[in-house]
Every structure is written in structure tokens, then in C-alpha cells.
Amino acid sequence: MAKLGKRTRAAREAVAGKENLSVDEAVALVKANATSKFDETIEIALNLGVDTRHADQMVRGVVGLPNGTGKAMRVAVFARGPKADEAKEAGADIVGAEDLMETIQGGTIEFDRCIATPDMMPIVGRLGKVLGPRNLMPNPKVGTVTMDVKAAVEAAKGGEVQFKAEKGGVVHAGVGKASFDEAKLAENVRAFVSAVAKAKPSGAKGTYMKKIALSSTMGPGVTLDVAEASGE
């Protein structure tokens, strides 16, 4: 068993026995233990009472975090003509059509969000096996298949976060950076939890939100009081 470093040991000792904290308490503790030399991401994970094998229990959505994510989002857009120009003017990092499809098929994926106009979906559809597993496939339900390319690009660049329940019913995302002040992190956490709560599917049975945990990239996690975090 690998020997724990002094910093890791101290971080684990700091959170030992501390469970079901309020959002403010959890943010303060996680932020205090984010002591790496880089600006760690503050990450949230929600364990939901859903079985994603059933279509009526799938959870997915999008939320604009009030204070952004602190991450520079690279955006690719599938569009032609005026819509391609609109995407570029809005700040898209990569814009294309068949040429972009070929680049992705060749194994080069240099973006964090993919947007497409509806007429591009026959091309984008060929990339399902590549983009799907990476949660990059454009989808009208989260606003990434749209004619309003400008708004979609600006939202992605402005701190919008997509979420989707993975196998086991877990939803996770980055909700800011350790350099954010506590109040802004807490506001982002509450906005994310609220969005997941509103995305409760019709087929969900029993307890929907089972557990919420907060951590930093290199730090230990702490659990939140679900009722307090969700405003119940």
C-alpha cells in the first residue's frame, strides 16, 4: 500500500467524521483542503435513485452556473454559410462541416462542447460512436442542436454545464475552481443541485437524491445534507 504524503494525510484527517454538511460548511472544508500548486476544480457527484437502463429514468439537462466554471471551454460547431460565420463571430474555436467530421474521425477531438445546426445532423450522426461515449454528441434537449448558434456558443463559453446520469445513476460535474470565493462556489453548488432536482424523470421511484458529495481534484470528498442542498 502506497504511503500517504503529509498533505494527503492532513486533508483526510480534516474531513474525518464530518458528514451531511450544509453547502456552506462543505464548500469551506473542501476549499481549505485544495492545497495543490494548481487551481483545483471543485467537483460534485450526486447518487440518484434511477436506473439509466430505462428510458423513463434517464436524467440529463443543462444549467448555467451563476459564477461560471472557471474553465476555458473549447467549442466546436457544425455549420455552413452564414451560420458558420455566426459561430465564428460568437467565439467558437472550431467551425466546419465534412472537414470537421473527417478531423474527428481521424482521432483529433480538441473541444469540450459540440454544437450543430439541425441540417448538419446527418453528418454529425456518423460520429455517434466517437462523440457519444464522451458526452459530446449534440442534442436538442440540451440546446446543442439549434439554429441559434450565437446563443449556444455564448452559453457554453459563459459557464453552462451539461449533465447526464451515468451507469449506476451518478451525475457529476465541475462547479468552479478552488480560487473562487466560498459564496460563489456555494451558489454554483445550489444551482447545480437545483437543476438536477428539476430534471427528475417520470419513471424515478422512491428516493431520488440519495447522496451528494463534494471534493476538489486532489482532495478527499465530503457528503452534503441532501435536504439542505436541494432546498427541501
pLDDT digits over 72-105, tens only? 899 999 999 999 999 999 999 999 999 999 999 9
Q: pLDDT-based confidence at 7, cuts 50/70/90?
A: low
To which H or E segment does residue 177 belong? strand 170-177
Domain boundary (120, 143, 158) is at 158
- 79 and 152 in a single domain? The answer is yes
Q: What is the mean pLDDT of residues 215-219?
A: 93
196/13 Cα distance (integer angstroms): 31
- pLDDT, residue 11, reads 52
Q: pLDDT-based confidence at 19, cuts 50/70/90?
A: confident
- Tens digits of residue pLDDT in 177-192: 999 999 999 999 999 9
- pLDDT, residue 54, reads 93
- pLDDT, residue 8, reads 58
Strands 41-48 and 170-177: antiparallel
| pTM of this structure | 0.81
- 59 and 81 in a single domain? The answer is no
Q: Is the torsion defined by CA of 134, 136, 137, 142 positive or negative?
A: positive
* CATH label of the domain that carries residue 45: 3.30.190.20
Domain boundary (158, 182, 207) is at 158
* CATH label of the domain that carries residue 82: 3.40.50.790
Q: pLDDT-based confidence at 1, cuts 50/70/90?
A: very low
Domain extent, residue 138, equals: 75-158
Any domain includes 144: yes
